[in-house]
Amino acid sequence: MVEFAGWQMPLYYGSQLDEHHAVRNHAGLFDISHMTVVDVSGADAERYLRYVLANDVSKLHSAEDGQCRALYSLMLREDGGIMDDLIVYRLSANGYRLVVNAATREKDLAWLLGQAGRQSLEILERPDLAMIAVQGPQARELVAQTLPSGEALLALAPFCAHRDDETMVARTGYTGEDGFEIIVAGAQAPALWAELHALGIAACGLGARDTLRLEAGLNLYGLDMDETVSPLECGLRWTVDTQTDRDFIGRRALERQAADGVKFVQAGLILEGNGVLRAGYVVHTAGGEGKVTSGTYSPTLARSVALARLPVDAQNDGEVVIRNHRHAVRIVKTPFVRHGKIKVDLENKLH
Amino acid sequence: MGEIPVELKYTEAHEWIREQDDGTVEVGITDHAQVSLGELVFVELPEDDTVVNAGDACAVVESVKAASDVYIPLSGTIVATNQALADSPGLVNTDPYGEGWLFRLRPNTPTQLEELLASEDYERFVAELND
């Protein structure tokens, strides 16, 4: 067990590597109730979120037949630094739900309240709700067998959610596999967990959650991005919606950065040979020095991979110093793994 | 604190040392150490015939979570390393005192062995760490 943002969480239940493979090959179960759920409602909710979030919530259609859409977005500071990343769901015409990180809970709530001003809004944290993720190629089928709304769940498109009273099931995740994230009343969560576990879905800890998201090339807030990092330099330009003239926090700063020229980009690294890349390691490239922002051992590739912030002129390869030895790294486009398949060429060795 | 076989010697760096009949010693990491590190994914071992001094960092055991140095418990010469760990580093987790051994060395001064911790001393040391 480890302490994480005030929660006691398991790093693994049994074997972290087995838990990882279970998600890639079958299905895994994650207790992610530490995530902070915040409901934003009121006549000004859309206007408010279009200003506070860098992605545009007007792309979320109003809920129909209990279905709603989800959007990944950043919340930026005025200077373009990243406050947090989150998923926003539109629950009703004037109702939205944000799922933000646990480690940033207090500052996020203070920021959201601070931006509300005199608008007609209610911002309500929902600590009464729990969250369970079921991820893997068999995940949707198994969840559909368990919940009464099974058929509707199987019909959900990616990044859509179905709501049945307090139970909300979204086809989203943080592993690079298909699956669901289920928000449920806290009191009902243990029974749901037990039922899913009884179907043979492997319980997975924070350790596997990290190796899975890294293989999928998904950023972790606090490592791959934070308040000092611009979305333009951590691979998240696609989440910043500038298609309309919408005014949102951080827009002017990002436009200035884009005009001045961005100096860093995010890329994936594959370590040639043995060892494990770790956050903070310096990466030497033809275009200058960069930095590993998060690294791990990839159970699927059976070698170390990392996300790194590199100079824009970095080429196809670089070097990392591990314990006084220089090791070659290959610079690749992420993801490393998606839907159970390796997406990078492992045979294309440098030497 | 995991299993602590009584017939072995120990160090405060969580290594175990087993005397062999041929005068060499076998070295590995303790059950307590492997549990703390989690599943190993990579083990870096010294070369055969390397002359080493007590206290030298000579090997690295690396898990998904962290890398940890392994120190030489007795000055001497490396005579063998466990090649099976290249493909199966997890042997250190599943059998830390057996198939998960790391290396064997021939000590310069076999009497140095007596300065190492006996099992009950190591047990007390680990218990105090957990307090």
Q: What is the pLDDT of residues A111-167, one digit of tens each?
A: 999 999 999 999 999 999 999 999 999 999 999 999 999 999 999 999 999 998 889
In a domain, B93, yes or no: yes
Closest residue in B to A301 (Cα–Cα): B41
Preferred mutation among B43, B62, B64 to probe A, highest tally of A CBs within 10 A: B64
Q: Are B39 and A275 an interchain contact pair (Cβ–Cβ within 8 Å)?
A: no
Q: What is the DSSP string of A236-267?
A: -GGGS--SS----TTHHHHHHHHHH---EEEE
Given this model, what pLDDT does residue B112 score? 87
Does residue A16 sit at the B interface (CB-CB below 8 Å)?
Answer: yes
Closest residue in A to B86 (Cα–Cα): A274
Given this model, what pLDDT does residue A351 score? 40
Which of A16, A274, A323 shows the shortest C-beta gap to B64?
A16
Q: How far apart are CA A242 and CA A259, in angstroms?
A: 14
Residues B40 and A275 sit within 8 Å (Cβ to Cβ): no
Task: Kindly state the DSSP code that residue A80 receives in the 8-state scheme.
Answer: S
Centroid of chain to Cα A103:
14
Q: How far apart are CA A306 and CA A291, in angstroms?
A: 10
Given this model, what pLDDT does residue A65 score? 66
Encoding tokens for residue A246? 């919408």
pLDDT confidence tier of residue B65, bands split at 50, 70 and 90: confident
Is pLDDT of B59 > 50? Answer: yes
In a domain, B13, yes or no: yes
**Residue A335, preceding bond cis, omega within 30 degrees?**
yes
Q: What is the DSSP string of A315-338?
A: -SEEEEEETTEEEEEEEEPSPSEE
Is pLDDT of A350 > 50? Answer: no
Picking from A141, A146, A219, A132, the residue whose alpha carbon sits closest to that of residue A176 is A219
**A150 and A204 in a common domain:** yes
Tens-digit pLDDT profile for residues A6-65: 999 999 999 999 999 999 999 999 999 999 999 999 999 999 999 999 999 999 976 566
Residues A269 and A305 sit within 8 Å (Cβ to Cβ): yes
Nearest 5 degrees, angle CA A208-CA A213-CA A215?
Answer: 95
Domain holding A269: CATH number? Answer: 2.40.30.110
**A111 and A56 in a common domain:** yes
Domain tally, chain A: 2
**A272 and A208 in a common domain:** no
Final residue of a domain: which of A215, A249, A265?
A215
**A49 and A174 in a common domain:** yes
Q: How far apart are CA A201 and CA A135, in angstroms?
A: 9
Residues A162 and A169 sit within 8 Å (Cβ to Cβ): yes
Distance, first Cα to last Cα, chain A? 41
Q: Which residues form the domain of A35? A: 2-215
Which of A17, A278, A323 shows the shortest C-beta gap to B39?
A17
Q: How far apart are CA A72 and CA A118, in angstroms?
A: 26
Residues A336 and A268 sit within 8 Å (Cβ to Cβ): yes
Residues A345 and A270 sit within 8 Å (Cβ to Cβ): no
**A238 and A208 in a common domain:** no
**A292 and A156 in a common domain:** no
Picking from A186, A34, A32, A36, the residue whose alpha carbon sits closest to that of residue A110 is A36
Tens-digit pLDDT profile for residues A225-256: 999 999 999 999 999 999 999 999 999 999 99
**A264 and A180 in a common domain:** no
**A181 and A59 in a common domain:** yes
In a domain, B63, yes or no: yes
Encoding tokens for residue B94? 């599943």
Q: Which residues form the domain of B66? A: 9-122
In a domain, B44, yes or no: yes
Residues A111 and A76 sit within 8 Å (Cβ to Cβ): no
**A264 and A208 in a common domain:** no
Final residue of a domain: which of A215, A245, A270?
A215
Chain A residues whose beta carbon lies within 8 Å of the beta carbon of residue B44: 274-275
Q: How far apart are CA A188 and CA A167, in angstroms?
A: 9
Residues in chain B: 131
Which of B42, B60, B64 shows the shortest C-beta gap to A211?
B64
Domain holding B108: CATH number? Answer: 2.40.50.100
Nearest 5 degrees, angle CA A87-CA A91-CA A95?
Answer: 95
C-alpha distance from B17 to closest chain A C-alpha (Å): 25
Domain tally, chain B: 1
What is the rounded average pLDDT of the residues A186-207?
97
Chain B residues whose beta carbon lies within 8 Å of the beta carbon of residue A276: 41-42, 62, 64, 67
In a domain, B27, yes or no: yes
**Which amino acid type is present at position A126?**
R
Task: Pick the more confident residue, A325 or A135.
Answer: A135
Given this model, what pLDDT does residue A153 score? 95
Rounded to two decimals, the ipTM of the complex is 0.83
Is pLDDT of B94 > 70? Answer: yes
Which run of H or of E encompasses B10? Answer: strand B9-10
Strands A202-203 and A28-31: parallel
Given this model, what pLDDT does residue A1 score? 87
In a domain, A226, yes or no: no
In a domain, B97, yes or no: yes
Tens-digit pLDDT profile for residues A139-148: 999 999 999 9
Domain holding A92: CATH number? Answer: 3.30.1360.120
**A171 and A22 in a common domain:** yes
In a domain, B128, yes or no: no
Picking from A29, A26, A31, the residue whose alpha carbon sits closest to that of residue A10 is A31
**A236 and A193 in a common domain:** no
In a domain, B1, yes or no: no
Given this model, what pLDDT does residue B43 score? 96
Tens-digit pLDDT profile for residues A271-281: 998 899 999 99
Residues A116 and A262 sit within 8 Å (Cβ to Cβ): no
Is pLDDT of B2 > 90? Answer: no
Mean pLDDT of chain A: 95
C-alpha distance from B123 to closest chain A C-alpha (Å): 23
What is the rounded average pLDDT of the residues A212-223?
98
In a domain, A195, yes or no: yes
Final residue of a domain: which of A172, A187, A215?
A215
Contacts of A46 by beta carbon, 8 Å cutoff, 6+ apart = A57, A58, A94, A96
**A188 and A48 in a common domain:** yes
Picking from A167, A191, A194, the residue whose alpha carbon sits closest to that of residue A180 is A167
In a domain, A347, yes or no: no
Sign of CA pseudo-dihedral A63, A67, A72, A77: positive
In a domain, A350, yes or no: no
In a domain, A225, yes or no: no
In a domain, A349, yes or no: no
Given this model, what pLDDT does residue A243 score? 96
Q: Are A17 and B62 an interchain contact pair (Cβ–Cβ within 8 Å)?
A: no
C-alpha distance from A295 to closest chain B C-alpha (Å): 9
